[in-house]
Amino acid sequence: MKLKLNQSLAALLFSASVFTACAPVAEQTLSVTPVPMEVNWQRGSFRPDASTSLWIEAPEADRSILAEYLQASPLALKLADSQSGNQVVLKQTDALEGITSPEGYVLSVNSDGVRIEALSGAGLFYGVQTLLQMAADAPEGMTAVTVKDEPRFEYRGIMLDVSRHFRSKEFVKRQIDLLSYYKINRLHLHLTDAAGWRIEIKKYPRLTQFAAWRPQAVWKDWWNGKREYCEETDPRAQGGYYTQDDIRELVAYAQKHYVTIIPEIEMPSHSEEVLTAYPELSCTHVPYKQSDFCIGNEKTFEFLENVLIEVMELFPSEYIHIGGDEAGKASWPNCKLCQARMKKEGLKDVNELQSYSIHRMERFLNSHGRKLLGWDEILDGGLAPNATVMSWRGTEGGLAAIRSGHKAIMSPGQYCYLDGYQDAPYSQPEAIGGYLPLKKVYGYEPVPDSLSADEAKLMYGVQANLWTEYIPTEEHAEYMLYPRAIALAEVAWSKPENKSWEDFHRRALKIVDELKAKGYHPFELKNEIGNRKEAETPVEHLALGKKVTYNAPYWENYPAAGEATLTDGLRGGWNYNDQLWQGFVTKDRVDVVIDLEKETPIHSVAADFMQICGPEVFMPERVVISVSNDGKEFTQLAEIKHEVVRDDAVTFKNFGWEGEASARYIRYQALASDKFGGVLFTDEIVVK
């Protein structure tokens, strides 16, 4: 970010009697990420050298952490016996002008050294990160400057899914090193899911003897196969788990980086691995048949509470994440125990039964001094009184929580799901789908104008998530994380008015090179291809802005621009999550009529479709294009047949007619394959 000296001060310095001593400060660039709140340049400079020492005034716990950290940093500072010049001074104080957050700091560089003041050890730590970045950017010496800085949000998080593909504790530590450098302060570990249980629970050894292991190393092979687990002693066993000592080690390591690890233990669904190891906790008591716990069974709550007791002993975090998402509830309506629970508690449907389970677990956590955190499905059937919502299905869940007086963490898939493609899919390793380039992550604004000032205070923060179904290796995980996680760090820390995409992109290019030098495996940003070329420029054509009648409705989950979508001139990008592709799921899929308003000579009618088989998005099997002058009797111009084949690619295909015709009305029909079904997505019907 470029910041210029105040013009009046520059004029004053220019008029001073000794020009060479009082020349105005030249325009400077501070290459710090996340961009700080306020920067004021001064005269002079400072260059740390071998004689530069460290002086810390802080409580002993923070003093010890910071001294150890700086001694091991590239500055290699040693603690001094007394305070003097040529020092880096860290001082924890009770008040700082203009700083309201305990994580804020003031950093000053002058010819005598560096001084960082903060209200807490965390604030000093973040000031140190800024210092380290400044020193790395100016090896010949840092220009004198004062930086006043504090975070926009208290919660600044990254989620690592270690269930689908287990990650070593060394990998987790490496990410803590890097994420804390960019002032991320929460690491959410997704420890349990169908693909594997990843934490030792001493009371239930089968969770790690059996439910942590599968015959296939790669999730996709396991998912497309029999989805079976195996004994740890099986020669085929793939997977792993963290022992309780591993967890203690990770928590301690994170604390030295002022990062809080938040564990997620899935309930009441995504629990196939548990219900195969302990089938008596399901509604049917049959292994490999259930993903939802039996909410009518008291043994379910005995199990969950016992697990959480051990989890809370390991993790000191204020919040415990309980998942709460995507419960199928398939067996609950027919389970005698679940129905008896509903009758006893006066619950009218299975949504309220899920809400009962969430409320009950929240009371248990609250009784142990903890708070419940869950995905936005915990709103279904009524939100638990003290729960915080993590909003992933868009932003409405988080906003609903805020408007009801609850805190929310925004994590919408459209901006925060780092498992999607970050560049043209054909140029990238296979991903789950989506298209989330760096610029889109950076452009996310978590607080809409619709929130009042008081409601905005309940916006606890933001989080990006790395789900790992299609990310089998640690190198691939880093490739998907960086630099997008760093863009999220700036969204979470920096005020919107201080952000600049052009400046961040410049810094991100440099950061990628720095990460590679440190042994990380980031996406090579300088080679970015960008969005689908069709999406870059609106298209002019005869049907532009013309009325479209839907004989079959579009899917309300993916409406794009509603009835204007297919003739608004806007083409879709690499994925349907850009809100430019319109989805169709009814039996007739696409069946629309365009009114050109008058009989018009036409030479072509065409539309693009996409195929991404993972989320069940397929090409049409048959397209029919017809025309009419009265809107009643149609003449068929073309019938295009296509063999739909399931594959791993992201592909696009244009289905159209070319020739000579004259018509007022154009009917475009696209039908799905009987074999695969799925969703059809199209963006524009182009008529020329």
Across 288-312, average pLDDT: 97
Within 8 A by CB and 6+ apart from 61, the residues are 121
Cα Rg for the chain, rounded, in angstroms? 29
Residue 445 in 3-state DSSP?
coil
Report which of 490, 390, 399, 407 is spatially closest to residue 190, judged by C-alpha positions. Answer: 390
Asked whether the beta carbons of 380 and 400 are under 8 A apart, the reply is no
Report which of 262, 302, 263 is spatially closest to residue 281, judged by C-alpha positions. Answer: 302
Is residue 10 over pLDDT 80? no
Bond into 34 cis (ω within 30): yes
The label of the residue with tokens 């022992």 reads 243
Across 481-495, average pLDDT: 98
Report which of 121, 134, 103, 135 is spatially closest to residue 56, judged by C-alpha positions. Answer: 121
Asked whether the beta carbons of 283 and 294 are under 8 A apart, the reply is yes
Residue 608 in 3-state DSSP?
strand
What are the tens digits of pLDDT across the range 497-547? Answer: 999 999 999 999 999 999 999 999 999 999 999 999 999 999 999 999 999
Is residue 9 over pLDDT 60? no
Report which of 536, 556, 323, 558 is spatially closest to residue 434, judged by C-alpha positions. Answer: 558
The DSSP code sequence of 11-52 is: HHHHTSS-TTTSPPPPPEE---SSPPSEEEEEEEEE---TT-
CA distances from 137 to 30, 126, 127, 479 (A): 9, 17, 15, 24
What is the DSSP pairing of strand 213-214 with strand 196-197? Answer: unpaired
State how far the Cα of 389 lies from the Cα of 367, in Å rounded to an integer. 19
What are the tens digits of pLDDT across the range 405-440? Answer: 999 999 999 999 999 999 999 999 999 989 999 999
Backbone angles phi, psi at 674, to 5 degrees: -65, -30
CA distances from 360 to 304, 314, 398 (A): 11, 22, 21
What are the tens digits of pLDDT across the range 144-199? Answer: 999 999 999 999 999 999 999 999 999 999 999 999 999 999 999 999 999 999 99
**Partners of 149 in the beta sheet?**
105
What is the pTM for the complete model shown?
0.93
Asked whether the beta carbons of 681 and 616 are under 8 A apart, the reply is no
Is residue 6 over pLDDT 70? no
Across 130-152, average pLDDT: 96
The label of the residue with tokens 């049409």 reads 620
User: Considering the chain, what is the average pLDDT of its residues?
Assistant: 94
Report the alpha-carbon angle 55-61-65, nearest 5. Answer: 65
State how far the Cα of 322 lies from the Cα of 332, in Å rounded to an integer. 19
How many C-beta atoms lie closer than 10 Å to residue 628's C-beta? 15
249 CB burial (10 A radius; 0-12, 13-18, 19+):
middle
According to the model, what pLDDT value does residue 27 have?
A: 61
The DSSP code sequence of 265-302 is: EEESSS-HHHHHHSGGGSSS--TTS-SS--TT-HHHHH
What are the tens digits of pLDDT across the range 210-243? Answer: 999 999 999 999 999 999 999 999 999 999 999 9
Residues classed as catalytic: 193, 270, 326
Asked whether the beta carbons of 412 and 392 are under 8 A apart, the reply is yes
Q: Which long-range contacts (CB under 8 A, 24 or more apart) does 448-455 make?
A: 448/395, 448/399, 450/399, 451/399, 451/402, 455/402, 455/403
Across 19-43, average pLDDT: 76
Three-state DSSP string of 307-376: HHHHHHHHCCCCEEEEECCCCCCCCHHHCHHHHHHHHHHCCCCHHHHHHHHHHHHHHHHHHCCCEEEEEH
State how far the Cα of 79 lies from the Cα of 81, in Å rounded to an integer. 7
Asked whether the beta carbons of 683 and 606 are under 8 A apart, the reply is no
State how far the Cα of 3 lies from the Cα of 41, in Å rounded to an integer. 8
According to the model, what pLDDT value does residue 1 have?
A: 39
According to the model, what pLDDT value does residue 16 have?
A: 30
Q: What residue type is assigned to position 628 of the chain?
A: S
CA distances from 448 to 153, 374, 445 (A): 15, 22, 7
Is residue 3 over pLDDT 50? no
What are the tens digits of pLDDT across the range 230-277? Answer: 999 999 999 999 999 999 999 999 999 999 999 999 999 999 999 999
What tokens were used for 142? Answer: 């840092």
Is residue 65 over pLDDT 90? yes
233 CB burial (10 A radius; 0-12, 13-18, 19+):
exposed
What is the share, in percent, of the chain residues with pLDDT greater than 90? 94
State how far the Cα of 502 lies from the Cα of 510, in Å rounded to an integer. 13
State how far the Cα of 102 lies from the Cα of 278, in Å rounded to an integer. 45
The DSSP code sequence of 52-109 is: -EEEEES-HHHHHHHHHHHHHSTT--EE-SS--SSEEEEEE-S--TT--STT-EEEEE
According to the model, what pLDDT value does residue 539 have?
A: 98
State how far the Cα of 127 lies from the Cα of 133, in Å rounded to an integer. 10
Report which of 301, 283, 302 is spatially closest to residue 292, judged by C-alpha positions. Answer: 283
Report which of 187, 125, 160, 155 is spatially closest to residue 492, judged by C-alpha positions. Answer: 155
How many C-beta atoms lie closer than 10 Å to residue 455's C-beta? 16
362: confidence class by pLDDT, cuts 50, 70, 90? very high
Q: How far apart are the first and last CA of the chain?
A: 47
Backbone angles phi, psi at 647, to 5 degrees: -150, -175
According to the model, what pLDDT value does residue 29 have?
A: 82
Q: What residue type is assigned to position 324 of the chain?
A: G
661 CB burial (10 A radius; 0-12, 13-18, 19+):
middle
- Helices marked H in 389-535: 396-403, 413-416, 438-442, 453-456, 474-481, 484-493, 501-517
